Amino acid sequence: MRAARYWSVRHAGVLERGYGAFTRMLSVLGPAARTLGLRRLERPVARVERLVKGFLFDCSMCGDCALSHNGMACPMNCPKGVRNGPCGGVRADGTCEVRPEMRCVGLEGWRGASRMRRGRRPVEPAAPADHRRAGRSTWIALLEESAPAGPGSDNARPASPASALQALLEHGSFAVTAELSPPDSADPADVLARLAPFRGSVDALNVTDASGANCHTSSLAASVLLREAGCEPILQVTCRDRNRIAIQGDLLGAATLGIRNVLCLTGDHVGNGDHPGAKHVGDLDSVTLLATARKMRDAGEFLSGRKLTCAPSLFLGAAGNPFAGGTELRIERLQRKVAAGAQFVQTQYCFDLEALDDFMRSVRADGLHQRVHILIGVGPIASAKTARWLRSNVPGVRIPDAVVQRMESARDPREEGRRLCIELIRGVRQIEGVAGVHIMAYRQEAMIGSIIADSNVLGGRLPLFKASPEPAFA
């Protein structure tokens, strides 16, 4: 079946014209069909639709078709359920992170869209699937004139900053964030013990949400503990483990507890982690999660349309991967996330300043640096072996051979990795449009203080996460 679906992507323009003629025919037949009764026609029409679309697109009859939105590549074929792909896990050769034998559905959609009349996919995000329509005919939905619409693309921001991090970025300060992995423990002291290397050095800590699909203390619980310790937390929310009901409840709960910064992620597939037998949920993806959170904040209502008594105040973030696939594809992905509501972006590791400069040139040409705060991922590497593993196993991590050779020839590879990180931070700091750095130093957190100090990335200002805790008041 994949051969037919790849053929459909290659001939997306032909299929678009055919579909246009078909919808015009449906509009002519509409009055007669309504006279016969659409409910009576539903079953036979759905049977024909399943045969036609099943052959051409491997259609699963979700009832909420996004083919024309995704270059005639059905997003429901994505193992992670990403309707606004490609995700950050697409491999360098364009194959799927979860099923290497299959081409990435999001990447195929991008290619198919280039052959259609518009020449590209719409920036407006595709809406999450309405599972109530599963098995039903979208052709009948067209006759009913009730085909589902995606969320709006207006990216209006609240009048006042939701968080100290947002205020810092909007002031124009070069921000420094870092990543904290919660422990495998129910003792809050174990979470707080991990803060020492970051205190007095960073503005905010990104609390991972079961990174790599491995189970740890929840990001929400750890974020609350960090906030109580005087740190500015960034809550990670992944779509892997929860449906839209649970996610919206978590967003409300986080805002209730004073957590304002939220990083919206699709999440690694469960097959990558320590519970490969778990159910991968994927009800939303990172883009529809952003649109959902923005709707709760700006419209004061759930995705269902039900009104909130009090809307959450949130500063919304997304992940970026400037080096996975072509620059044009990554810019389109960034545009879509900004349209969905992203106000800041934290990227994958950068070890190639030339490639980053090329990417940021395209960002500036599109004016995206004025609409979203971009924080570039950096981090120390411990050895040449680590560098090789990263570029071979982590999609989008590009490490030049010169960097690997430098690590191989170093007398003290860890110290050389620290110096390299400092040089990268200084180089990133000089690129126009970059709003900050995001430091990922897994198991090398002790280096962060010296990296920040020696790179002078803060420019003499105090970080948001102060060197000593704020005094407590009785």
246-290 pLDDT, tens digit per residue, is 999 999 999 999 999 999 999 999 998 999 999 999 999 999 999
The residues with which 347 forms a beta bridge, in sequence order, are 320
Alpha-carbon gap, residue 348 to 333, rounded angstroms: 14
Per-residue pLDDT of 134-168, as tens digits, reads 888 888 877 765 433 444 444 444 558 999 999 99
Class of residue 310 by CB neighbours under 10 A (exposed 0-12, middle 13-18, buried 19+):
exposed
pLDDT at 207 over 90: yes
Q: What is the mean pLDDT of residues 206-235?
A: 96
pLDDT of residue 159: 59
Q: What is the mean pLDDT of residues 81-98?
A: 86
pLDDT of residue 415: 97
373, amino acid identity: H
CA angle 212, 217, 218 (to 5 degrees): 85
Question: Please, what is the average pLDDT of the chain?
Answer: 90
Identify the structural domains of the chain with CATH numbers, from first to last. Answer: 2-143 (no CATH), 164-455 (3.20.20.220)
pLDDT at 357 over 60: yes
The residues with which 301 forms a beta bridge, in sequence order, are 307
pLDDT of residue 279: 93
304's tokens:
């269902």
Q: What is the mean pLDDT of residues 391-414?
A: 92
322's tokens:
């400037």
pLDDT of residue 395: 80
The residues with which 262 forms a beta bridge, in sequence order, are 235, 316
Per-residue pLDDT of 305-315, as tens digits, reads 999 999 999 99
Per-residue pLDDT of 247-257, as tens digits, reads 999 999 999 99
Q: Are 447 and 384 in contact (CB under 8 A)?
A: no
Question: Percentage of the chain surpassing pLDDT 90?
Answer: 65
pLDDT band at 1 (very low <50, low <70, confident <90, very high): low
51's tokens:
């045969």
393, amino acid identity: N
Q: What is the mean pLDDT of residues 178-202?
A: 96
Q: What is the mean pLDDT of residues 381-387?
A: 95
For the ranges 59-68, 103-112, 228-237, 367-376, which has the lowest average pLDDT?
Answer: 59-68
- pTM confidence score: 0.88
Contacts of 101 (CB under 8 A, 6+ apart): 95
